[in-house]
């Protein structure tokens, strides 16, 4: 997770170019809200574009490597500002969640099968890290939502490698296996400027043994353009709770931040980045509507998320049918 620093004026740069990146127009949305996609790769540069590459990724993530992976964090000196200052750009809307197999349901607010732990390698230093993510219901039934900085290093960085997702991870136990990333998508404003107002990403995963992630664990809905004051359940794997080995939940009412984001005082540390901020969380099935993704931790234990507007919905529309 990132740490907070002051905001400064800037504008989003041009869309990236080169192999694996493609700008996607999103229509009449705010400046800097275009997105770019990429094919995930192994650390050796091999694209994860086949079942054999996904199997190689599964072999890479041994229990020892997972145990030693570092909860993603950044020092205050490396942080950028929330430049976009997103706000409601239309009427509020939500997509529906989808329930998975009956054996994934747990009537406990502290855990959801549709939330999991992410493992990846940062090519900038070769080290392994962890984040959080959640399954989101879309036409493909293969998509996750997480933080932008969990898939791309931002300004001057590149796409993460060896990226995999373990739903309802518990102290090394992976009850539903691991799902390799098949395609990344995040905002160009994050890629080019590390804009915390656009610290959101969506990831299409490979099916595991023929089973799509949402059909197995269930998937949350998506909400956008709602008030910044919302009753939320925040979930993820903070490294300052049980060493990031168990899923944690925090509930409360969010409030607005001056830079346009939202915040809730959960005091979740590194590793919780990308975890869902859920409206209308249902204890009986562990599902809700994602209305934020864990981004930063500020002074006093205040966690922050980008505001979800029409641009986030446009990303969902651009990626949600990719298989």
Give the pLDDT of residue 275.
97
165 neighbors 181 (Cβ within 8 angstroms)? yes
Q: Which of 252, 301, 244 is nearest to 277 (CA)?
A: 252
Alpha-helical (H) ranges within 102-174 are none
User: What is each CA distance from 224 to 32, 91, 187, 216, 279, in whole angstroms?
Assistant: 17, 8, 16, 25, 10
Give the pLDDT of residue 95.
75
Consecutive H or E run containing 319 = helix 310-319
Higher pLDDT: 24 or 159? It is: 159
Give the pLDDT of residue 140.
97
Segment 44-51 shows an average pLDDT of: 92
151 neighbors 201 (Cβ within 8 angstroms)? yes
Both tokens assigned to 301: 């234990």
Residue ranges covered by each domain of the chain: 35-71+113-319
Both tokens assigned to 255: 């409030």
Consecutive H or E run containing 63 = helix 63-68
Segment 234-239 shows an average pLDDT of: 96
Give the pLDDT of residue 92.
75
Give the pLDDT of residue 83.
65
Both tokens assigned to 243: 């060493």
**Burial category of 291 from C-beta neighbours within 10 Å (exposed 0-12, middle 13-18, buried 19 and up):** buried
Give the pLDDT of residue 47.
94
- Please give the CATH topology (third level) of the domain spanning 35-71+113-319: Thrombin, subunit H (2.40.10)
- Find all residues with CB under 8 Å of 68, minimum gap 6, and list them: 128
Contacts 24+ apart (CB under 8 A), 58-62: 58/164, 58/178, 58/180, 60/162, 61/119, 61/162, 61/164, 61/178
Segment 285-292 shows an average pLDDT of: 95
Q: Which of 69, 126, 112, 104 is nearest to 245 (CA)?
A: 69
Give the pLDDT of residue 296.
92
pLDDT, one tens digit per residue, over 139-186 is 999 999 999 999 999 987 899 999 999 999 999 999 999 999 999 999
User: Hey, is 133 helix, strand or coil?
Assistant: strand
Segment 291-309 shows an average pLDDT of: 94
Q: Which of 202, 127, 131 is nearest to 165 (CA)?
A: 131
Give the pLDDT of residue 279.
96
pLDDT of residue 263 exceeding 90, the answer is: yes
pLDDT, one tens digit per residue, over 49-94 is 998 999 999 999 999 999 999 998 743 334 455 666 676 777 877 7
pLDDT, one tens digit per residue, over 122-144 is 999 999 999 999 999 999 999 99
Segment 9-20 shows an average pLDDT of: 30
| Whole-number average pLDDT of the chain | 85
């Amino acid at each position: 997770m990132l740490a907070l620093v002051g905001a400064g004026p800037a504008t989003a740069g041009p869309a990236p170019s080169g192999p694996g990146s493609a700008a996607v127009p999103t229509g009449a949305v705010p400046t800097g809200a275009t997105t770019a996609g990429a094919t995930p790769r192994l650390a050796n540069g091999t694209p994860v574009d086949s079942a054999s590459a996904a199997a190689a990724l599964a072999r890479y993530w041994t229990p020892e490597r997972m145990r030693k992976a570092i909860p993603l964090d950044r020092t205050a000196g490396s942080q950028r500002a929330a430049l976009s200052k997103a706000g409601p750009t239309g009427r509020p809307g939500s997509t529906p969640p989808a329930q998975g197999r009956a054996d994934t349901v747990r009537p406990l607010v502290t855990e959801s099968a549709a939330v999991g732990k992410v493992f990846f390698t940062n090519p900038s230093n070769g080290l392994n890290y962890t984040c959080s993510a959640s399954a989101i219901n879309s036409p493909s039934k293969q998509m996750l939502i997480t933080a932008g900085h969990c898939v791309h290093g931002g300004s001057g960085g590149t796409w993460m490698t060896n990226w995999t997702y373990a739903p309802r991870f518990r102290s090394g136990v992976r009850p539903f296996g691991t799902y390799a990333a098949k395609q990344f998508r995040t905002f160009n404003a994050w890629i080019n400027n590390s804009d915390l107002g656009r610290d959101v990403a969506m990831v299409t995963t490979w099916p595991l043994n023929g089973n799509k992630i949402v059909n197995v664990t269930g998937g949350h809905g998506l909400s956008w353009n709602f008030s910044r004051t919302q009753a939320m359940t925040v979930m993820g794997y903070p490294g300052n709770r049980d060493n990031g080995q168990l899923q944690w939940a925090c509930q409360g009412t969010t409030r607005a931040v001056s830079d346009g984001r939202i915040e809730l005082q959960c005091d979740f540390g590194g590793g919780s980045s990308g975890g869902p901020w859920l409206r209308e969380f249902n204890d009986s099935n562990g599902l809700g509507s994602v209305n934020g993704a864990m981004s930063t931790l500020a002074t006093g234990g205040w966690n922050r998320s980008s505001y979800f507007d029409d641009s986030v919905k446009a990303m969902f529309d651009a990626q949600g049918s990719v298989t």
